[in-house]
Structure 1
């Protein structure tokens, strides 16, 4: 039985998720509780970014726009990369101490890093974070740069988690077909067919537009529970215009950069109406994933920060019209599913097994990925 740690710092840039999983080869170990739910795969941890750290990461997004080569670190990118590496090391050290684990107990760490640029059409994706420095400090093997090989081969480099979604669904004994929707800064869906086939793609914006709107209008990092959006009314004309974007009729696989859409489009609306419009946009964009499904999922499982947004979940139920439940309610983890996934991907990477497929990222053939850094 192997132990692996996954680390995820998403496009919402709120902090670092840490998750432990147990694997047997490429099979997940889960346990059924008395009520039939799947017990969590392992303990989790979280290291928030400070306001100053988030400000630096936001500046890094701007400075990354000029990058044409993945080795470039213009502007504050070098400083931001050092921050990301240090913060992830601190997150792992605190997690090990809290769980009474030693670095020798962990076989591998899956290190996503912080995405600051994602332009697969130009065959470039950049996740800052020094995997070798992290491995050296922690004394644990680290698999990093998990998107690079896919993008270099012509894939979208995202989403990476579908193979984990399928493994987890199978370990949980869930009936197929099934949809797993992850709503982070950008939202992505995995459609698992009754024949175990995978189709995955970004559906559109996730929390990023809503979070940016709330930060600008109120100073708060998010719309807690979706309560601000629930008090507003969506602007129908703006919403219809947003949904006319060619991305939504583009056939998958497909992926988005966090900054493809801007919250500033709602700039003339009240705080409540702007939040309502951007929340409705996220929900309707996700529901349009069904336009590309070969089979109608029996149910949707929603993970990521969006699963805690009650108004967003209400709208999803309205538009999808089949059972929708949160990952937490089926014994998974809404908050840590992606971190768990990157632990699993690190295990697959070390075994040389494919992480991405033509139907998940558009890569020409099943492709492994990741760069191994030994301590």
Structure 2
């Protein structure tokens, strides 16, 4: 008998809504259907505006949360139609929401999204607010996907690393003995996308083609590598609160570098920071990548140059790299519905295992 859940993810890149339907009845979860939809220019602008303090931001945040939930509902209903399913076929929606602040050192993280409205629009139970309980227990509230990576990708007698390259990059070290270490390594696409938008009015550097035309600036790279976050021990997590255009501008003060060379250097920074984080935990047997960054051919090439092992997409493990994070939030929703813990204290730093999420019944 099937047990169908919907997973929704809108990440730091603010590029769109990823939605999946997964069957979690069997020991091996199965992806049933998937759909991606870009954020409307209006919603994208609303969410960008909330990445920094502004006047009347409480009001703006609620308006954006409502818009976000309407957009999510439209994607869910379109996905159900595509799959030939009814709302009554779905146990629950796992909705990550949109992160607009992540300050675990101040004991809070904020992902907006009107979960009650999403339940009302779809007629499906919604599970959301996955991160706050871990933060309340002294954890980072991120990354949450290593527990899912362990459930889906761990292999006995093999040391695997799964890297998710979204706006921020995070890693899951799945040790052969069953131990899991996971943390954010630093910027994924967030600086690359911001620089691309500023200079080319496009939201991302397709295939890394623009970065590939530039030359890495060694002195700028060294300067950015000195960011203290990179040497912090795990558990650690980050976001747009640290890595944003103002952070980059500080490093570019007084410089007149060609924009393409800066893009090449940002790409190198992402590849270096991921590879350094991997090697800090020893030499893995296998490295798999998921998230939007997997489509940046230049970034993948530079990452592979730093590592002694072949770097592959999670497609090699039978899971499309575009849907891994949305898949994870469907899995997290099931854990919450069943009252099962879903955080890994060794990853987040929480005082113990906790049931994550809150439930808005249909």
Q: TM-score of the superposition, structure 2-length normalised?
A: 0.94
Shift of 1:269: 2.4
Write the deviation string for residues 1-35 of structure 1: whole angstroms up to 9, x where unpaired: 3111100000111110001111127x3335xxxxx
What is residue 19 of structure 2 aligned with on the other side?
Answer: 18
Q: Contact between 1:63 and 1:75, CA under 8 Å: does it hold in 2?
A: no
Q: When the two structures are aligned, how many residues end up with a matched partner?
A: 355
CA RMSD of aligned residues (A): 1.7
2:93 matched to 1:93? Answer: no
User: How far did 1:334 drift?
Assistant: 1.1
Distance 1:120 1:285 in 2: 21
Match of 2:180 in 1: 198
Distance apart, 1:292 and its partner CA: 3.4
Of residues 302, 312, 317 in structure 2, which corresponds to 1:330?
Answer: 317
CA–CA separation in structure 1 for the residues paired with 2:143 and 2:316: 23
Per the alignment, residue 258 of structure 2 pairs with 270
Runs of 4+ that moved beyond 4 A = none
- Asked if residue 347 in structure 1 is aligned to residue 334 in structure 2, the reply is yes
Q: Hey, what does 1:150 align to over in structure 2?
A: 134
Provide the residue aligned with 1:69 in structure 2. none
Cα distance in 2 for partners of 1:200, 1:307 equals 19
- Listed as ranges, the matches of 1:245-260 within 5 Å are 245-260=227-242
Q: How does 1:88-127 map to 2 (within 5 A)?
A: 88-127=72-111
Which runs of 5 or more residues in structure 1 are unaligned? Answer: 31-40, 67-71
Structure 1 position 283, deviation (Å)? 0.5
State how 1:215-364 maps to structure 2 within 5 Å.
215-263=197-245, 264-265=248-249, 267=252, 268-293=256-281, 295-364=282-351
Q: Say whether the 8 Å CA contact 2:70–2:121 is kept in structure 1.
A: no
Aligned equivalents of 1:75, 1:3: Cα separation in 2: 35
Match of 2:51 in 1: 61
Q: Is 1:76 matched up with 2:52?
A: no
Moved more, 360-369 or 179-188: 360-369
| 5+ residue gaps, structure 2 | none
Shift in Å at residue 75 of structure 1? 4.6
Deviates more, 1:329-338 or 1:184-193: 329-338
Pair 106,175 (structure 1): closer, same or farther in 2 beyond 3 Å: farther
Answering whether residue 150 of structure 2 is matched by residue 166 of structure 1, we say: yes
Q: Choose 307-316 or 127-136, whichever is displaced more.
A: 127-136
- Is the CA contact 1:136–1:374 (under 8 Å) kept in the aligned structure 2? no
Partner residue in 2 for 1:33: none
Give the aligned partner of residue 38 of structure 1: none
Distance in 2 (alpha carbons) for counterparts of 1:155 and 1:253: 8
| SS in structure 1 at match of 2:42 | helix
CA offsets 1:204-225 (integer angstroms, 9 cap, x no match): 0000100000000000111100
1:19-38 aligned at under 5 Å gives the runs 19-24=20-25, 27-30=27-30
Q: 1:114 Cα shift?
A: 0.5
CA contact (8 A) 2:139 2:348 kept: yes
Match of 1:42, SS? strand
- The answer (yes or no) to whether the contact 2:185–2:273 under 8 Å persists in 1 is yes
Q: Kindly provide the CA deviation profile for residues 233-262 of structure 1, in whole angstroms up to 9, marking residues without a partner as x.
A: 111111111111221111101000223123
The 1-side partners of 2:270 and 2:79 are apart by 33
Could you say what secondary structure the match of 1:274 adopts?
Answer: helix
Match of 1:50 among 18, 40, 44: 40
CA contact (8 A) 2:342 2:355 kept: yes
**Distance of 1:133 and 1:262 partners within structure 2:** 31
Corresponding residue of 1:5: 6
